[in-house]
């Protein structure tokens, strides 16, 4: 049940010397899963994300590979083959994206309502005004923002609320894939957690798949089904989140895991709040072993 296949994808920045930012990346995103993409700053995560959705600008150039979207209805779209107009029509509709700091991309002089409605007037021109307004209000409530806020201007909302508005907009056309590039990094930890909880809840409810990008590996361990670890533009390890934590194969994954400070006690585990019971149980066993 693959929803997106990335095949042999490479991106260069044509500067002097050329930067090979993404090298022969292949991965399959399953319908409804959260795939975490981890790796230190500069390893190529954002370039890959922008490349998939074809939002890269020169000097970036896709030098090989393709991204194929497999619709629920059974047809395929080769994203690299789309012309500008089809790309505009399909982007946000099939695959949408939330960028780091996207909350700052809201237009400051236009109300949330008008910016939100714009998504529907562009992509759902047949929709009547009343229906459009109701849909915007519903979406906003879905991400935990009161519908009264539709009348606000961006500066009247907190950073967390603005980022929620952006997430609601990204969900507006019910895409089957959402790519989230550090969507909560600019926010404080409490708001970050609330938004992450909301994203996983919505994923369960609506069934879209998520590629979640961050350098914060503990956070990924908490929310992802599978994790891909990227280094120097390549995926060095890809596996089930629990396996990756308990039995990392690649030296770099081990290094990455070891580079995060202990979050719960001396042994240093990645448990942060509502972590998988399995991991908690494993830790309990290990602590028991150490004591005996
Ligand atoms: N416009 C550009 N011109 C030249 N090189 C670039 C450009 N943008 C990015 N790069 C380089 O491409 C590589 C990958 O960068 P990218 O931003 O994709 O990494 P990242 O893993 O997303 O990092 P971060 O977590 O800091 O956003 C880096 O070496 C970066 O310096």
pLDDT in tens, 191-231: 788 888 888 888 888 889 999 999 888 889 989 999 999 99
Angle, CA of 184, 185 and 190, to the nearest 5°? 65
238 phi-psi bin (left φ>0, alpha ψ -120 to 50, beta other): beta
What is the pLDDT confidence band of residue 285, given thresholds at 50, 70 and 90?
Answer: very low
d(CA 40, CA 50): 17
Question: What confidence score (pLDDT) does residue 280 get?
Answer: 47
Angle between helices 112-123 and 159-171 (to 10 degrees): 10
Ligand 1 centroid, distance to 175 Cα (angstroms): 27
What is the pLDDT confidence band of residue 262, given thresholds at 50, 70 and 90?
Answer: low
Average pLDDT (79-103) is: 87
d(CA 187, CA 167): 14
- pLDDT per residue over 157-181, tens digit each? 998 899 889 999 998 998 999 999 9
d(CA 150, CA 132): 12
- pLDDT per residue over 105-153, tens digit each? 899 999 999 999 999 998 999 999 999 999 999 999 888 899 999 999 9
Q: Which of 40-54, 81-95, 191-205, 206-220 has the lowest mean pLDDT?
A: 191-205
Q: Give ipTM to 2 decimals.
A: 0.97
Protein fold of 2-260: Rossmann fold (3.40.50)
Is the confidence at residue 48, as pLDDT, over 60? yes
Instruction: Indicate whether residue 59 lines ligand 1 (CB < 6 A).
Output: yes
Is the confidence at residue 37, as pLDDT, over 60? yes
Instruction: Indicate whether residue 39 lines ligand 1 (CB < 6 A).
Output: yes
Is the confidence at residue 286, as pLDDT, over 70? no
Helix, coil or strand: residue 31: coil
- Among protein residues, the one with the nearest Cα to ligand 1's atom 12 is 21
**Whose CA is closest to 46, among 229, 179, 240, 217?**
179
Average pLDDT (90-118) is: 89
**Whose CA is closest to 44, among 5, 8, 66, 12?**
12
Ligand 1 centroid, distance to 237 Cα (angstroms): 20
* Neighbouring residues of 13: CB distance < 8 A, sequence distance ≥ 6: 19, 21, 47, 59, 60, 61
d(CA 240, CA 176): 21
Question: What confidence score (pLDDT) does residue 261 get?
Answer: 66
Ligand 1 centroid, distance to 94 Cα (angstroms): 26
Mean pLDDT of the chain: 87
């Amino acid at each position: 049940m693959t929803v997106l296949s990335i095949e042999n994808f490479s991106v260069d920045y044509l500067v002097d010397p050329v930067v090979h930012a993404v090298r022969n990346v292949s991965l399959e995103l399953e319908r409804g899963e959260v795939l975490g993409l981890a790796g230190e700053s500069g390893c190529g995560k954002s370039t890959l994300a922008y490349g998939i959705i074809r939002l890269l600008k020169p000097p970036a150039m896709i030098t090989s590979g393709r991204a194929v979207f497999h619709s629920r209805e059974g047809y395929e779209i080769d994203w690299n083959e789309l012309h500008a107009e089809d790309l505009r029509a399909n982007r946000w509709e099939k695959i949408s994206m939330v960028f780091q700091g996207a909350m700052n991309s809201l237009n400051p002089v236009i109300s949330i309502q008008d910016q939100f409605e714009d998504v529907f007037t562009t992509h759902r021109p047949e929709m009547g005004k009343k229906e459009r307004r109701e849909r915007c209000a519903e979406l906003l409530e879905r991400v935990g923002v009161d519908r009264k806020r539709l009348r606000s201007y961006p500066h009247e909302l907190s950073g967390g609320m603005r980022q929620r508005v952006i997430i609601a907009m990204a969900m507006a056309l019910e895409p089957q894939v959402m790519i989230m590039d550090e969507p909560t990094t600019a926010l404080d930890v409490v708001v970050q957690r609330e938004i992450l909880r909301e994203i996983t809840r919505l994923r369960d409810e609506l069934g879209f798949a998520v590629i979640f990008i961050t350098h914060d590996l503990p956070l990924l361990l908490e929310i992802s089904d599978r994790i891909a670890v990227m280094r120097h533009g390549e995926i060095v390890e890809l596996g089930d989140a629990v396996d990756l934590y308990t039995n990392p194969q690649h030296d770099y994954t081990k290094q990455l895991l070891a580079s995060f400070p202990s979050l719960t006690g001396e042994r240093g585990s990645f448990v942060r709040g509502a972590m998988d019971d399995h991991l908690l149980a494993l830790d309990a066993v290990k602590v028991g072993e150490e004591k005996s």
